[in-house]
Amino acid sequence: MLLQIDHHSGQPIYRQVMDQIRRQILAGQLAQGEQLASVRELAAQIKVNPMTISKAYSLLEIEGLLERRRGVGLFVAGLNKAQKSRSKAELLEQILDRAVATAVQFEISEQDVHELTKRLFARYTSQIRRDEHE
């Protein structure tokens, strides 16, 4: 499990951990039933206080995304495909809505937004290609 923590973003670390794990589960990068890294292991990896990881895991368990098996560890909970794609769509719409609202307020045209979107997609695609060739 790869996590990127930005200590200077103002965003609490436990939230950054939660967000990234949640996204990986929705994206299928963390498969259902898969075991997560232990609190200590993950804490050591990203060099933060174990309490911080524990908090993130607990909150994800409350959300129903993780399942605790006592004495064993934490696992990715089952989530059917419909739920998953609904969650994905909702999360995307929520973020995109903020972008569109901003564009409308700034009187930036739909056309300009469309072109900017294309540019950003192209950037990610070329990024991925580079990663694959490494």
Partner DNA sequence: GTGGTCTAGACCACA
Partner DNA sequence: GTGGTCTAGACCACT
- Whole-angstrom Cα distance, residue 81 to residue 83? 6
- Whole-angstrom Cα distance, residue 83 to residue 50? 31
Site string (29-68) toward a copy of itself, x via CB under 8 A? x-------------------x---------x--x----xx
- Whole-angstrom Cα distance, residue 116 to residue 108? 11
Under the criterion CB under 8 A, does residue 2 sit at the interface with a copy of itself? no
Residues 26 and 91: beta-carbon distance below 8 Å:
yes
Residue 68: both structure tokens together: 């605790």
Backbone angles phi, psi at 17, to 5 degrees: -65, -50
User: Which does residue 39 bind out of DNA, a copy of itself, none, counting CB within 5 to 8 angstroms by kind?
Assistant: DNA
Q: Which of residues 69-128 bind a copy of itself (CB under 8 A)?
A: 69-71, 88-89, 91-93, 95-108, 110, 113-114, 116-118, 120-121, 124-125, 128
Can you give the binding site for a copy of itself, defined by CB under 8 A?
7-8, 12-13, 23, 26-27, 29, 49, 59, 62, 67-71, 88-89, 91-93, 95-108, 110, 113-114, 116-118, 120-121, 124-125, 128
